[in-house]
């Protein structure tokens, strides 16, 4: 059994500027090779319709792409290091969207431990 961390990133990817921000964020992830967020592979799910309650007090429909990472996670990985990496990833993605004129109210990232049962 192998311990991993599953990270699911929800990113808008419909308009041209959103697609550019998405591509920059994906390229950033593909370049990550050191712990605590080592990207050794990912899955991508395109055109998911999501709905969320905005700070503007209304429901917002979003067409998003999910990036699903399963990162190797040694048992001794400090939680605070992982929290810092995910926070930095949120800032990186938010900055890419803002540069393209698509400022985001929130970049939604969730992470949880998973056990991979290999041969």
Q: What is the pLDDT of residue 102?
A: 96
Q: How many CA atoms lie within 13 A of 119 on its CB side?
A: 0
Tell me: cis bond preceding 36? Omega within 30 of 0 counts: yes
What digits encode the pLDDT tens for the residues 69-113? 988 887 777 888 889 999 999 999 999 999 999 999 899 999 998
Q: What's the pLDDT tens digit per position in 34-62?
A: 888 888 889 999 999 989 888 889 998 88
Say if residue 33 is preceded by a cis peptide, omega within 30 of 0.
no
Give me the domains of the chain, ranges plus CATH numbers: 2-116 (3.30.70.120)
């Amino acid at each position: 059994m192998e311990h991993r961390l599953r990270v699911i990133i929800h990113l808008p990817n419909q308009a041209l500027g959103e697609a550019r921000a998405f591509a920059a964020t994906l390229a950033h992830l593909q370049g990550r090779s050191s712990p605590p967020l080592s990207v050794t592979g990912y899955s991508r799910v395109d055109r998911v319709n999501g709905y969320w309650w905005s700070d503007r007090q209304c429901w917002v429909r979003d067409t998003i792409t999910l990036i699903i990472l399963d990162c190797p996670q040694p048992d001794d990985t400090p939680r605070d290091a992982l929290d810092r990496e995910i926070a930095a990833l949120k800032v990186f993605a938010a900055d890419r969207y803002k540069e393209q004129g698509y400022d985001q109210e929130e970049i939604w990232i969730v992470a949880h431990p998973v056990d991979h049962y290999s041969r």
